[in-house]
Amino acid sequence: MTARALAPVRAAGLAIGMGMGGFVDGIVFHQILQLHNMLSARVPNDVLVGAKVNMVWDGVFHAGVWLLTAFGIALLWRACRRPDALLSTRLLVGALLAGWGVFNLVEGVVDHLLLQIHHVVEVLGLSIWDYVFLAWGAAMLLGGIVLMRGAHDAA
């Protein structure tokens, strides 16, 4: 099996995985658990104006991950129409997992460590939870790579 046959599903899975990772982050951490918001280290939520500013930026974040997910779905649709594409569940699941891992690593390094616009548990500031988030992202990325390699070997 050539790399050309793997690329369409892998690209689609990576994009969908990054988008879905963003949705899980936004829905679970921002909305359900309310541990942080997009700008909560810079704009506290303790007054109405701060809460509204964070709500707008959380919305911008969700719009971005929605577009990324929609792009991934379009890529997957195109991949399914290609006769040479490897339509493998293992490949797709591996790419989804790797994409979610990439999301966690990029978001964790950029937003938590470099820009410090928010942290996993905002009231703690930079804490062990930010590093657990990064470790979880690395584990998902590595697990996804292992699955994708297994799909390549199986093909």
Q: Could you read off the pLDDT of 83-112 as tens digits, one per residue?
A: 999 899 999 999 999 999 999 999 999 999
Q: Where are the alpha helices (DSSP H) in the chain?
A: 3-24, 48-81, 89-107, 128-154
Query: What residue numbers bound the domain in which 68 lies?
Result: 3-154
Dihedral pair phi/psi, residue 38, rounded to 5°: -60, -40
Go through 8-34 and write b for each residue having 16 or more CB atoms within 10 A of its CB, e for each that does not: bbbbbbbbbbbbbbbbebbeebbeeee
Task: State the residue for tokens 């697990």.
Answer: 143
Task: State the residue for tokens 């577009």.
Answer: 67
The share of the chain scoring above pLDDT 70, in percent, equals 97
Q: Would you call 57 helix, strand, or coil by DSSP?
A: helix
Q: State if pTM tops 0.85.
A: yes
Q: Would you call 5 helix, strand, or coil by DSSP?
A: helix
Contact 126, 112 (CB under 8 A): yes
Q: How many domains does the chain have?
A: 1
More confidently predicted of 95 and 3: 95
* Tokens of residue 132, six digits: 């657990």
Q: Would you call 46 helix, strand, or coil by DSSP?
A: coil
Q: How confident is the model at residue 1 (pLDDT cuts 50, 70, 90)?
A: low
* Tokens of residue 14, six digits: 């990576």
HEC assignment per residue over 63-74 = HHHHHHHHHHHH
Q: Is the pLDDT of residue 43 over 70?
A: yes
Provide the pLDDT for residue 152. 73
